Chain A
C-alpha cells in the first residue's frame, strides 16, 4: 500500500527530479572524497556543504508548496518550523560536546555555565540521545503546527489574516529565542559543534555523509509530498484551495484536511532545518526572522507554485543567485534584486520558471492551442 501510495502516477518530471537528486547524492560525495584536490572533477568540501544547504532549502520549499501551492494556505511563518527542527538538532550537537567546551562542564553547555546556571533545564533532557533528538525534530514543529492550525483552521481564519498570524508566530519565536533566560543560547544561538553520532562534524567524511543524507531526505520528502498531492486527499486539498466553502458542502471537514497538510509540512520543514544546522555549523534566532519565511515564499513563487519540482528548483536557483550576488560588488543590492525578481515573476511568469518553461515547450510541440471552452451544444 505504501509503495503504491508513494509511486503511483509518478510523472516524467518527477522521475527526472528523483534521478537527478539521487545522482547528485551519490556523485558529489564521491567526487569530494575520491578525487584528488587538483582534479577538475573534485568538489571541495565547502562547495559541497553550500549545495547541501541549498538542498535543505529545497526541502523547505517543497514543504511550503504543499500548504501554499496545493492547499492555498500562504504561510509566512514556515521559517519557524525550519528553525525549530534546527534547534532540536543543535541541542543534540551541544550535548555531544560534553566536557570539551571552554568551561569543561560535562553536562552544561558553555552558555549555561556563563549564565551561572547550576543544572540543565528540564527541556534539555533527553537531547543527548540521537533518536530522541530526531523524534523532537519532527515532533516539536509538528506539534506547534498542529496546535496553531487547530485554533486557526477551526475558527476559519483564512487568507491575509492567516498569513499575518503565521508571520506573528515566527516573530514571537524570534523574540523569545533572543532571550538568554529561554535557555537556547540567546542571540548567539548554538554553535561550536564537535561530534555527530561520534563523527567529527567538521570532517570531510561527515560532511559528505550529511550531503548524501540531505539528498535522501529531499527524495523522501518529495515522495511523501507527491504521494499526498496525487491521492484523493490531494484532490480534496486542491478543491479547498479553489472553492473552500463548496468543499464543505460536499461533506469534507475542511479544517481537518488543512490541519493534516499543515502538520505534515511543518515536520518536513523541521527535517530540513535539522540537516541544515550541522552543515552550516550554527543555529541562532535570526533563522526565525520574518524575512526568512518571506524569502521562502519567493523561492516557491519563482520556481512555480503548485509544482513540487518547481518549488525545489526555485529554492536552489534563487539561493545560488544569492550566493553569486552577495559575494561580489553587487552585494548591497541583493534585496533589491530579489524584490525585482519577485515582481517580475509575479507579473510575467505567474506559473514560475518551471510552469513557463513547460508551457513554452508544449506550445512548440503542439502549435494549435486547444480551445478553452466549447460552445454550448446547439439545440
Chain B
C-alpha cells in the first residue's frame, strides 16, 4: 500500500476536486469538491437524491467518476483502485441500508470486519489470538451487543443492525469512516445514543456522516456541508448554513 509520501499534493486526508459522474445522461454528481482534514468529523446534509450516497460510492471504489480527482492521504489516487484495495487502505463504510451478514452470529460479523490480513491462506488457517478476542469483546461492549453475541445478525432489529455495522467499522479500524444515515429508522433515544457513539469514535478517527436528521447533526456539533444536485451548496457551522437563503429554499422547496 502506498503511504502518504512527503511532499504530497495535499495535506488533506481526503481530497475531492471537480468530480462528476452521470448515470445514463443524468448528472448525479457535478463538479463536486470537498476536503477532509486528518482527525476531522464532517456532517453532510442535503435533500434526497442530492448525491450523498453516490459520493460515498465514488470514494469507496464502487462507482468510477467520469472526471475529477479523488485523493486519499495526499497521494493515493482512489479512482485507480477497487473496493477491496480501498478498504485495506483504511476507508471503512456503513451503508445507508444496514448490511450485515444475516447468517453469521453477531460476534462473527465483528470477527470478519476485524483488521487483519485478508489473504486466502491467512483466513484459511486463522486462529483468533487473545488480543484480537479482547478487541472483539470491547467492540461488542461499545455497541451494546455483548449479551447477544451468539445470535444470528439477521435476528436483530433495524436499529441494532445499524449499531452492529458501526461496530464492524470500528473493528476495521479505518483511518476514515464513511457513515451513511446512521440514525435512519431509529427511535429518538437510539438516535441520541448513536450521536454519542459517533462523537466517541471521532476522537481518534476521521469521519464523514451523512444524515437527514437536523437534531442529530446539531448534536454532533461539527462543520456541515450541504449537497444539492450533485455539488456543494454551502459549507460551515450548522447555524450559519441553516441561515443561508439558498439552503432554506432547497430544503423547503421540496
Residues of A within 8 A of B (CB): 1, 5, 228, 231-233, 235-236, 238-239, 242-243, 245-254, 256-257, 260, 372-379
Contact = CB atoms under 8 A, between A and B. Distances in A.
Contacts of B126: 231-233
Given A232-B126, A260-B120, A251 B84 contact: yes
A376 B157 contact: yes
Contacts of B118: 250-253
A231 B190 contact: no
Nearest to B192: A379
A376 B148 CA distance: 13
Contacts of A257: 120, 123
A27 B99 CA distance: 50
B5 interface: no
A1 B84 contact: no
Interface stretch (B65-73, B87-95, B209-217, B230-238): B87-95
B47 to A, nearest CB: 26
B50 interface: no
A236 B120 CA distance: 10
Contact of A238 (B92, B101, B113, B172): B101
B59 to A, nearest CB: 11
Contacts of B159: 376
A379 B101 contact: no
Nearest to A239: B101
23 contacts: A5-B125, A231-B123, A231-B126, A232-B123, A235-B111, A238-B101, A238-B104, A242-B103, A243-B99, A245-B62, A245-B83, A246-B99, A248-B82, A250-B168, A251-B88, A251-B118, A252-B123, A256-B119, A373-B155, A374-B148, A376-B159, A376-B190, A378-B189
A242 B100 CA distance: 9
B107 to A, nearest CB: 11
A235 B83 contact: no
A372 B160 CA distance: 14
A128 B93 CA distance: 56
A235 B124 CA distance: 10
B17 interface: no
Chain B CB count within 10 A is highest, among A232, A233, A242, for A232
